[in-house]
Each structure stands twice: as structure tokens, then as C-alpha cells.
């Protein structure tokens, strides 16, 4: 993959460059602020960008706001947020464009390099990948609607695992359920959230975003 990195920590930025290069990827740019990120993405059109949330000049949410801007300019542009912090104010906006190809991982919770590389590949392929802690905090920061109030506790649990990017088989293993039972829960969730089958929409992503948008 061709990758842009936006990370203000020199050590971490260089570490990511060396890790990704060693694994056969091409880092086309490694920058330290949001302005340079915009320029690098426009110049190189990478397969995916790895973006820290807190960057100069204020070290608050420059990276996240830059990611939203890049996605608005080109929906579906693959971006993996990689941060120590969960920023709920704008994160839901990033997820709400429904185009896929977005991820949010917490630096301190990535235990294996293989997990990070797998998440990066999935985001580049158009999937949505969220750390469970990110999902938990986004859920707690949102207001529940009547439609979501109709979900059973088990359906909410299944939806939470869907939000983490888990497949039906992974959910079944996590909850000690059969694959058929998980499929029934997922179908029920789609029905209660008013998401009919559609060739143009990914109902799993829409179900998660409906929860976050509420």
C-alpha cells in the first residue's frame, strides 16, 4: 500500500515509517501537522493515511478535523486515526459520512503489530474498524432514540461488536452463540433500525452509524 503518515511525535512517526517499509509498504510522506497532511494527500493520493488526532499548533483536534475535511473533499478516502485519546466531539462526524474506509485505534491498546497492520489493510479496503474503547465512549456520548430503545440487551451487545468491525462468525465465538443465532440478531437489528436490503448500502455500517448518530 501507498501510505501517508501524519504524526507530530518524531520518534513515533519514524517508527511507523520503518515498520511499514519493512513490511513492504511504501510511505510516500511522513508529516507532523494538519496542513502538511492536506498537501501530502493531495499530492500523493495514498491508499490510506494514518493520522494522529492531536497535532500542532494547539495539540487538540487538528488531525481529526483535517481527516473530516479530507473525507468531505473525497468521500471514501481511507483514513486510520491512531491516537492516545478518544475525541467524541468530531469522531461521530467522521464516521457519519457512511462511505467506509475509516478506522480509529488507540495507541496504548494495540498489542500486536499484526493487529495494527490488519486494521490498516481493512481500512484501505473500505471497511470501518473501531477500537472497542472508542465504540464504548462514542456510545456513552450519544443520545438513544426510540428505535434504538427497541433493541434488546443482546441485540445491543451484537451491535456493539459489529461496531468493532467483527464478522458474524467472530461475534458468534465471542458470545458463545451459533452462527445462525447471530444472523437472526443482525437481521432483527436491521429491521428495528429500518434498514431494508439495498445493493448500494452496507447495512452493517449503517446500523452502527445510526447508533452513533442518535
pLDDT digits over 7-55, tens only?
999 999 999 999 999 999 999 999 999 999 999 999 999 999 999 998 8
Residue 8 to residue 205: CA distance in whole angstroms: 31
The structural domains of the chain, with segments of one domain joined by +, span 2-144, 153-213
Cα(149)–Cα(159) distance, rounded to whole angstroms? 13
Q: Look at residue 156 in the predicted model and tell me its pLDDT.
A: 86
Distance CA 175, CA 60 (A): 37
Structure confidence by residue, pLDDT tens digits, 140-182? 655 444 566 778 889 988 998 888 888 999 999 999 999 999 9
Q: How far apart are CA 179 and CA 102, in angstroms?
A: 27
Give the right CATH number for 2-144 from 3.30.300.180, 3.40.50.2300, 1.10.287.90, 3.30.70.600: 3.40.50.2300
Q: pLDDT tens digit string along 62-110?
A: 998 899 999 988 888 999 999 988 887 677 777 766 667 899 999 988 8
Q: What one-character DSSP code corresponds to residue 24?
A: T
Q: Per CATH, the architecture of 153-213 is what?
A: Orthogonal Bundle (1.10)
Amino acid at each position: 500500500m501507498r501510505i501517508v503518515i501524519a504524526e507530530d511525535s518524531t520518534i513515533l512517526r519514524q517508527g511507523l515509517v520503518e515498520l511499514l517499509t519493512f513490511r513492504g509498504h511504501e510511505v510516500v510522506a511522513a508529516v507532523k501537522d494538519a496542513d502538511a497532511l492536506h498537501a501530502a494527500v493531495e499530492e500523493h493520493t495514498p491508499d490510506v493515511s494514518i493520522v494522529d488526532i492531536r497535532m500542532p499548533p494547539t495539540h487538540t483536534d487538528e488531525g481529526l478535523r483535517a481527516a473530516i475535511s479530507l473525507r468531505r473533499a473525497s468521500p471514501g478516502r481511507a483514513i486510520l486515526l491512531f491516537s492516545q485519546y478518544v475525541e467524541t466531539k468530531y469522531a461521530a462526524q467522521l464516521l457519519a459520512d457512511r462511505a467506509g474506509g475509516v478506522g480509529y485505534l488507540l495507541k496504548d491498546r494495540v498489542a500486536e503489530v499484526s493487529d495494527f497492520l490488519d486494521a490498516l489493510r481493512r481500512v484501505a479496503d473500505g471497511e470501518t474498524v473501531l477500537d472497542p474503547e472508542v465504540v464504548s465512549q462514542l456510545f456513552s456520548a450519544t443520545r438513544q432514540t426510540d428505535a434504538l430503545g427497541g433493541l434488546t440487551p443482546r441485540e445491543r451487545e451484537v451491535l456493539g461488536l459489529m461496531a468493532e468491525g467483527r464478522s458474524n462468525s467472530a461475534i458468534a465465538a465471542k458470545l458463545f452463540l451459533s452462527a445462525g443465532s447471530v444472523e437472526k440478531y443482525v437481521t432483527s437489528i436491521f429491521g428495528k433500525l429500518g434498514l431494508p436490503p439495498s445493493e448500494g448500502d452496507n447495512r452493517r455500517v449503517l446500523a452502527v452509524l445510526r447508533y452513533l448518530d442518535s
